[in-house]
Amino acid sequence: MAPKEVIFEGYREIIPEFSLFQESLRRPFPKHLRVNRLMIEPADLLRFFESKGIALRRSSEKYDTLYLAPGLEFPGNQLEYYLGYIHPQALTSCLASLAISTREGSYVLDMCAAPGGKTSHVAQLMKNTGLIVANELYPSRHIPLGHTLDRMGVLNAIITGYQAQQFPLKERFDYVLADVPCSGEGRFRKTEDTADYRKPKEVTWLSELQKKIILRGFDLLKEGGQLLYATCTYNPEENESVVNFLLDQREAELLPIELGLDYEPGLVEWKDEKYYKQLKKGARFYPHRLDSVGFFMARIGKRG
């Protein structure tokens, strides 16, 4: 029997229990749901699903709106989806909205908002108070973004269409969410023989774009504001290197991330590059530790 292909071999030294990580990439993604409290309480939704013979399992003891739906093949075909009661969303994607810890009545910018999962989640956490600016560059994505916000009962958001790295500096925000364009390594699973991950050629270009976005996001914060930088990739050049660049350029500091779920701390070095020690406060989510999309996030404060 031919040996199994080793995927992401270049990250062997930074990913703990690398063999388990490799095994996790050969399993399909689990189906996670977020219950939308703007429209229904979790207990009521569970009763609706139980009456149809569908059992949901809590994804976290801490958060009662996050569920695993092992027997639900197509969540988007359910009536509860169209009613805005549920939103199919990767567990780690939901954690980004939770990590930024927005307060009710806040002024929030989502720099790269489509398709709207995080924007609608933040609106839910803020109980439709304050204002969320959902920015999305591409007009073709405004329709699905608007549809998601409408379906989920979001009343406190407006949509804009700026390049994230050039978002106007006329306003300042309490919170900025920057889930930036990335190489998407965390979304890869080799569930078929034909599946093959090919590293994008534009990683260097991506990291330069990410640095511009994180700088603009930070500059859009009010004094004492918070920025959540996130990617769905493992590459330190798109993660720690980008955050380290911000720490070099601005009066920024990393804040702890407390989610009650398994993750690895951020790296303080990669190849020949050394990072600030506070990068340990970043969070790396691997699929063998938390069965979802691979993710990185850093919660960043503006001193003042």
Q: Residue 202's pLDDT is what?
A: 63
Q: Residue 2's pLDDT is what?
A: 39
pLDDT band of 303, cuts 50, 70, 90: confident
b (16+ CB within 10 A) / e for 141-171: bbeebbebbebbbbebbebbeeebbebeeee
Distance between CA atoms of 44 and 177, rounded to whole angstroms?
30
Domain ranges of the chain: 91-302
Distance between CA atoms of 111 and 75, rounded to whole angstroms?
27
| Catalytic residue set | 232
Whether the Cβ atoms of residue 232 and residue 293 lie closer than 8 Å to each other: yes
Average pLDDT, the chain: 94
Distance between CA atoms of 68 and 31, rounded to whole angstroms?
6
Topology of the domain comprising 91-302 = Rossmann fold (3.40.50)
Sorted by sequence, the CB contacts under 8 Å of residue 264 that are 6+ apart come out as 16, 283, 284, 285, 286, 289
Q: Name the H helices within the chain.
A: 18-24, 42-51, 79-82, 91-100, 117-125, 142-151, 203-219, 240-249
More confidently predicted of 2 and 297: 297
Reply yes or no on whether the pLDDT at 5 is more than 90: no
Q: Tell me the pTM.
A: 0.95
Q: Residue 204's pLDDT is what?
A: 79
Whether the Cβ atoms of residue 239 and residue 214 lie closer than 8 Å to each other: no
What does the pLDDT look like over 113-132, one tens digit per residue?
Answer: 999 999 999 999 999 999 99
Give the C-alpha distances (Å, rounded to integers) separating 276 from 101, 177, 236, 250, 268. 24, 22, 13, 13, 6
